[in-house]
Amino acid sequence: MRMGDDREVLVTGLGAITPLGAGVEAMWEGMLAGESGVGRLGEEWPADLPVRVAGTVPVDPLSLLGRVEARKWDRCEQLAMIGSREAWQDAGRPEVEPERLAVVIGTGTGGILTTLGQDDVYERSGARRLSPYAVPMLMPNGPAAWVSMELGARGGARTPVSACASGAEAIAMGLDLIRAGRADVVVAGGVEASLHPFCIAAFAQMKALSTDEGDPRAVSRPFDAGRSGFVMAEGAGVVVLERAGFARARSARAYGRLAGAAVSSSAHHITASDADGQVHAIRTALRDAGLEPGDIDNVHAHATSTEPGDLAEAQAIAQAVGGHAAVTATKSMTGHMLGASGAVAAVAALLTLRDGMLPPIRNLDRPGPGIDLDVVRGGSRAGNWSAGLVNSFGFGGHNAGLVVTREG
């Protein structure tokens, strides 16, 4: 049933696989403890790589999936399926008409591992040795397509590709689909699996990655005066969104409301962060949620650990929200999961509402100049958290903001 005036959207399911573990609770336990999922790359990686650390998921995805089927999937499709299955199970497997169920899963690079791997096969062995599954494995819409087939979702399978804002933008798109009356339930999130020598070397050439050769667990240090670049990571985060009336009719448990969302484009620089565009996204998301800046009590920052990026975001938060909100940055523990990062941050923000705990920023010894925020360090912070902001930004000037609140 379509309810055009029903703008309330609840989050009823969560799923994740990250460098902190397979499953939401493993990830959350690691975040609250301030642990790190970043490690040193093994000897099998090329010796000339300028970066030797990354955040990898600690389990073989095939061990969590049917091996025969999963071998047809790129690693990003495997991770998306793991996160989606957990979120769907967590939501209680809603019984919804197929035409009222949609899937939106964003990614920055899609099946880049397949693209590069199959190119190697072609160069080495010729055209006849290519996999017949190469195209469905490499296409960026593959994760959303496979999940839609798994769930029988016929309300649309969409794929925002907006660099590191992809996962958050997917969740914002899911909110729009429900509010527009086009779906009752949307499985939304983001995924990335691009840990390959080419990708690492390419980011390193941009001077975006840290080349710190010390303890891998200490390399990702958002907002810290000694930050030197981000750490690449892989993972997936997925949420199940439901029209509130639909969720309540089936007595579904909810983690909270997706109260508002917004996207903006900075139109400023292909890679450099821009505080003005971020401010616009944050303020628009707050208006969409019907909230004032003072209502936001916690912020899950994008905060990748690059010097200019963190500074621009700190300025944007101070300008759009103010200095009263407590700010965390979970990339200090997971590394930067690129297109998955915003969705994983949204999962963490909803768990903050559930448990009243805000994870600390690992490795934040001394905030850098211009970081005039109430940053959480030294341990998780307990609080009566009621409204959280999730920031997510990407190369190309993509900005996304999500606002989550307690139900009711």
Residue 199 a catalytic site member: no
| CA–CA distance, 357 with 381 (Å, rounded to integer) | 6
Which of 164, 196, 280, 398 is catalytic? The answer is: 164
Which of 280, 300, 336, 398 is catalytic? The answer is: 336
Residue 302 a catalytic site member: yes
Question: HEC string of the chain?
Answer: CCCCCCCCEEEEEEEEEECCEECHHHHHHHHHHCCCCEEECCCCCCCCCCCCEEECCCCCHHHHCCHHHHCCCCHHHHHHHHHHHHHHHHCCCCCCCHHHEEEEEEECCCCHHHHHHHHHHHHHHCHHHCCCCHHHHHCCCHHHHHHHHHHCCCCCEECCCCHHHHHHHHHHHHHHHHHCCCCCEEEEEEEECCCCHHHHHHHHHCCCECCCCCCHHHCCCCCECCCCCECEECEEEEEEEEEHHHHHHCCCCCCEEEEEEEEEECCCCCCCCCHHHHHHHHHHHHHHHCCCHHHCCEEECCCCCCHHHHHHHHHHHHHHCCCCCEEECCHHHHCECHHHHHHHHHHHHHHHHHHCEECCCCCCCCECCCCCCEECCCCCEECCCCEEEEEEEECCCEEEEEEEECCC
Tell me the CA distances in angstroms from 3 to 157, 289, 367, one per residue in order: 22, 18, 47
Residue 164 a catalytic site member: yes
Which of 196, 280, 302, 398 is catalytic? The answer is: 302
Residues noted as catalytic: 164, 302, 336
